[in-house]
Amino acid sequence: MNIYIQIAYLVASILFIIGIKKMGKTKEARTGNQLSSLGMLIAVLATVVQVEAVSLVEILICVVIGSAIGLFIAFKVEMTQMPEMVALFNGFGGLGSLAVALSFYWLNSQELNLTVDAITGTSTALSIFIGGLTFTGSIIAFLKLNGKISGKPITFGGQHLLNLILLILAIVASVFAIIYQIDSTYVFALVALSLILGILTVLPIGGADMPVVISLLNSYSGMAACATGFVLNNNVLIVSGALVGASGIILTQIMCKAMNRSLVNVLLGGFGQTVSADGGDADEIQVKEVGVEEAAMLFDSASSVIVVPGYGMAVAQAQHVIRELAEQCEKRNIEFRFAIHPVAGRMPGHMNVLLAEANISYDKLIEMDEINGDFQNTDLVFVVGANDVVNPAARENPQSPIYGMPILDADKARTVIVSKRSMGKGYAGVQNELFGYDNCLMLFGDAKSTIGKLVGEMKEM
């Protein structure tokens, strides 16, 4: 039986690897997700066979309850709420690792009066620490994303010093917990310290950096799972945790590069504290407005259009009317594509998910590095709810807080139309200098309503 279980774990691990590989390409992402889900099902079934502490009936009851909750969430949660749900799932992953490691410690040290070797003890301590930090950090990220607490950086004097002291205390508690395994004081102190550190690490992070936070917490949840795998001597948990942890760190590095930040800033916490703009206030920028009818004429006369989606599109739930706009343009043989910035939205791939929900073809979604050179030859760029990712200040203004951040070169197109509710600033807190450019026109109003009217005008032409 053990041989068959290990074979099942091997198959599950292979499916995880193939699944993650396929997720690297938009067209194959859904298949990758399905393969990874199949791998997880195989891993769960193989694990259930080995369980002796509880009956199969009890396990099935838990599976049914968990599946029901998952289905409810899948149907209830809107696509615009996906970032906070991902944050919440990361937190539950961390909590699961903490609970398993804590249960393992309690069973051995308090009930069986056994001591484990240094490697297992270290793995247990890491699982508890990373799991606890991931749980509370993810909860804070969830609350920031859904507006329950302020999305602005929450800071106080001596914050970094306090975090450093807590980290040192956590390391000391881990060492003593491994040496004096019978005394549960040190383990519970480690639990408390990890939970507090998770809160203090994410609180000072602003909304502009949430894509990085989510990616990093996802990596933390993977590392916690990997450590738990060593605690339980479970190979598939080690492999899957390592895959999630490593891919999360790589993605975090990509996010950092896209936001002109270093990974060290992320790991230390307290990043994302934006300062006020040197790029000018709204009343200092003279903008030119455009009406729906005139905008429709510009679209009708263009031969190529690039749409730059942002979080404002998600808030307005405008992805479906944008698909209708794309259909009207394609009827006129207008080349219609989407430029995707790595940190557009509130989580990695946020725009891809929303546009895919609207049944927009994957081959229309072009990453920043591939499409940036095309803007200068494009007739019309339509910016929908994006701000910092198209701000020329990142490229041209050394005094700007976002200087050096890679952006989409939308300003180089012949004409730019920006759909926004107002002249409000982006998450970085700086005014978008693009709005004052001679080739930029502002289309004010709710994106969904305004684009809907735009499509109506084009249908009548």
Residue 103's identity, in one-letter code, is S
CA-nearest of 135, 446, 127, 149 to 318 is 446
Q: Are 261 and 208 in contact (CB under 8 A)?
A: no
Three-state DSSP state, 55: coil
Ramachandran bin of 392, using left for φ above 0, alpha for ψ from -120 to 50, beta for the remaining angles: alpha
How many C-beta atoms lie closer than 10 Å to residue 257's C-beta?
15
For 404, list phi and psi in degrees, rounded to 5. 100, -15
Q: Of 281, 369, 374, 388, which one is the catalytic site residue? A: 388
Residue 349's identity, in one-letter code, is G
- Scanning 319-424, the segments in alpha helix (DSSP H) are 319-331, 350-357, 368-371, 393-396
| Pairing state between β 304-309 and 335-340 | parallel
* Residue 117 among the catalytic residues: no
Three-state DSSP state, 337: strand
In order of 190, 191, 450, the CA distances from 169 in angstroms are 8, 11, 55
What is the CA angle 13-19-23, rounded to 5? 150
Q: Are 353 and 79 in contact (CB under 8 A)?
A: yes
Report CA torsion sign: 151, 355, 215, 37: positive
Ramachandran bin of 370, using left for φ above 0, alpha for ψ from -120 to 50, beta for the remaining angles: alpha
Helices 210-232 and 82-105 cross at an angle (nearest 10°) of: 30
CA-nearest of 35, 46, 16 to 234 is 46
For 106, list phi and psi in degrees, rounded to 5. -65, -40
Which residues are tagged catalytic? Answer: 388
